[in-house]
Amino acid sequence: MRLGMVGLGRMGANMARRLMRGGHEIVASDLSTDNVKHLAGEGAIGSSSLDDFVSKLARPRVAWLMVPAGGATEQSVVALAQRMQAGDILIDGGNSYFKDDIRRSRQLKDKGIHYVDVGTSGGVWGLERGYCMMIGGPRDAVQHLDPIFKTLAPGRGDIPRTPGREKLPGTAEDGYIYCGPSGAGHFVKMVHNGIEYGMMQAYAEGFDIFRCANSKELPEEQRYELNLADIAEVWRRGSVVSSWLLDLTAIALAENPTLSEYTGFVQDSGEGRWTIEAAIAEAVPADVLSAALFTRFRSRQEHTFAEKVLSAMRQKFGGHVEPAAKKTA
């Protein structure tokens, strides 16, 4: 199948490569002409403009966007929609807000253009491992795209089959699923990322406890000099807390056990916030996910004013004296 890929960053370019390896033809578009030339050198069909890009797609045209969520995606959708026709399919494979998908789908439907939202997980490792995909949009359009999803997905591999799964239909075991109408794919991916925040925070707090196990505040016989890299590695082998996130943690600790190259400033990409907003709208308690998000906020400040207020209250009601702030020269 021939399709276009708009956005040749780390994920977009690797997805294009995986598709080409699977026998698909890729028309490449990016703001960077060097990125287009590079991928064209690997077998893609380069394009010099969006007009050129669309002209090189066979009808029904299929264009896959892999650009940052928000303004960049909005502008790309509008620009492509002006050049596409009824029956064409526009795919957003980034991390867009599901409510934006619903709006865009409704707008494009008036022109007869099918809008498909694909929550895509796999990161920079997806070229070799494959991509887990959560898909929303018109069912007929999604079925038309099945050869693309099948190529991008990890496939069944050597993962043991879930007992009873052989009785159930669908493509979940292959690494991609149809979640429902417009927005459903990104909704599932949104919560996926919220859960990811919580899992990462649990690992981070656990390893911080290990790191501080030799604290002078502890009785001497309770102090331990622990090898964090070894702990991460042994947990990868038979432990109930093993996961790909732990695999990545083990890699980082093996490279540098002190992680001294990191400042501890942690960004959030939006999905965590949207997950909490969805939990509020549904009146669903999400204690762990919200705490993980708020911890990321706090990581961007050495100390918050709220912590100063807490220290002041502790001193006033109990005489507890906190360590004094370091004086600046």
Contacts of 39 (CB under 8 A, 6+ apart): 8, 13, 16, 17, 26, 28, 46
Long-range contacts of the stretch 99-107 (C-beta < 8 A, 24+)? 99/183, 100/73, 100/74, 101/136, 101/182, 101/183, 101/185, 101/186, 102/182, 102/183, 104/77, 104/182, 105/137, 105/181, 105/182, 105/183, 106/182, 107/81
308 is catalytic: no
Find out whether the peptide bond into 147 is cis, omega within 30 degrees of 0.
no
- Considering the candidates 166, 189, 225, 255, report the single residue annotated as catalytic: 189
Query: Alpha-carbon dihedral of residues 277, 183, 185, 5, nearest 10 degrees?
Result: -120
The label of the residue with tokens 């038309």 reads 144
* Closest CA relative to residue 93, chosen from 139, 48, 140, 149: 149
- Considering the candidates 196, 216, 217, 233, report the single residue annotated as catalytic: 196
As a whole number of angstroms, the distance between CA 262 and CA 249 comes to 13
296-311 burial, b if ≥16 CB within 10 A, otherwise e? beeeeeeeeeeeeeeb
The label of the residue with tokens 């996130």 reads 245
Beta strands of the chain (E only): which ranges? 2-6, 25-29, 45-46, 62-65, 89-92, 114-121, 132-136, 176-180
189 is catalytic: yes
As a whole number of angstroms, the distance between CA 289 and CA 190 comes to 12
C-beta separation of 116 from 89 below 8 A: yes
* Residues designated catalytic: 189, 196
